[in-house]
Structure 1
Amino acid sequence: MAAQDSSSAEIDTSLFITVSGPPGCGATTLCERLADAIGCPYVSGGDIFRELADDRGMTLNQLTAKADESDEIDRALDQRLQQIAEEWGMANKPFILESRLAGWLAGDRADLRIWLDAPETVRLERIDDRTETEAEMRVREVSEAGRYESYYEIDIGDRSFYDLHVNTARWSKAGVFRLVRAAIEEYDPELDEGAFTTPPMDI
């Protein structure tokens, strides 16, 4: 009998996992694979942002521009994500939350906090078939970082509290999934000597 493919086998876990990273880092692909293997819900900050844009009859770029004008949009998005994190943090059931601020918003409720990244040239190639252009991606990254600093006094570049950092340009999509899968399956709360404390975030 052939061994089961580790990229498709189910993952038995009850962990609350956050996944964060810049545009083109591979977060969506990883989260979809994880959610399918774990059989758990997956919420993306990007999806909620798109819902906000649709509700207002605006494009993503228009909503981003409006978010630059005031804190209403960002705070509405972050409050919703934080509410979701609080609900699932107490549920003791597997769940995946993905957004640039997911690790911050979930705080110490999260069991495993993951940061994905890749060189800018690689990330630009990955978003080449999206509606967002290279210039728009760069503007969005700078804009978001500035807003996080202004609204919450947080440095998005502070990744000291993340449990796992992965350069997704070094492995295939399946390889990244297997790396994260191993971290999930090898996690034993009885052997856990302590995660880094997430800096406080007041929304």
Structure 2
Amino acid sequence: MATDTSTSDEIETTLFITVSGPPGCGATTLCKRLADAMGCPYVSGGDIFRELADDRELNLNQLTAQADTSADIDRAIDQRLQQIAEKWGMANKPFILESRLAGWLAGERADLRIWLDAPEDIRLERIADRVETEAEMRVREVSEAGRYQSYYEIDIDDRELYDLNINTARWSKRGVFELVRTAIEAYDPDADEGAFSTPDVDP
């Protein structure tokens, strides 16, 4: 959990929010800050993927390679994320789901769907101290995009369904949080004329 969130950052809401984006987009930073401010839990698809890698005593690159040859790994993760989305979509309580496919898997159960991104060189700088290398990140992005298209006919570059699309290189971490906070607090369900529809995903 983030430690620099003051009481003035508290957000009173019951919204179910999804956050998506490529590695280094700032999703984890935003989710931690939002979760603190909203007083709610959040689940990360990356954490579930890493837990699966640990369970199988594999590194991320090895598990990605296995996922390229079998649909079982991706489908197991996506089924788990979809089950979580179904649960929280009916709870009328604040919750955050973060993964590349979170917006698609949650569909219309989500109240607000966010896509974060940044230029590739910026994202590479941000992940420089991670275990995953630059080459591994690029392989994973291409691999995942291909699997999404193959399994679900999802074009990960199609951003139409997202309510907010933010280039996190243009604002500070605080600034990105404030942008999203403003959207949450300004949201009025009575004035909501409708989100873009999302095709059903069947993991």
Q: Report the TM range for the smaller structure's normalisation.
A: over 0.9
Alignment check: 8 A CA contact 1:116 1:165 kept: yes
Q: Distance in 2 between matches of 1:140 and 1:181?
A: 31
Mapping 1:1-203, distance limit 5 Å: 8-203=8-203
Alpha-carbon distance in 2 for matches of 1:18, 1:113: 5
1:6 shift after superposition: 7.7
Please give the alpha-carbon distance, in whole angstroms, between the structure 2 residues aligned to 1:7 and 1:202.
40
Structure 1 residues 186, 60: closer, same or farther in 2, change over 3 A? Answer: same
In 1, Cα distance between equivalents of 2:103 and 2:120? 22
Aligned-pair identity in percent equals 81
Distance 1:138 1:68 in 2: 14
Deviations 1:4-23, CA, capped at 9 Å, x for gaps = x9895210000000000000
Query: Using the alignment, how far apart are the partners of 1:143 and 1:75 within structure 2?
Result: 15
Tell me, yes or no, if the aligned pair for 1:115 and 1:166 is still in contact at 8 Å.
yes
Looking at structure 2, the residues matched to 172 and 38 of structure 1 have their Cα atoms a distance apart, in angstroms, of 20
Unaligned runs of 5+ in 2: none
Once the two structures are superposed, residues 38-87 of structure 1 have per-residue CA deviations (whole angstroms, 9 ceiling, x without a partner) of 00010000000011111111111111111011001000000000000000
Q: Which runs of 4+ in 1 moved over 4 A?
A: 5-8
TM value normalised by structure 1: 0.96
Counting matched residue pairs gives: 199
In 1, the alpha carbon distance for the partners of 2:16 and 2:71 equals 28
Q: Which amino acid aligns with 1:138?
A: R
CA distance in 1, matches of 2:156, 2:21: 10
Deviation at 1:153, TM superposition (A): 1.1
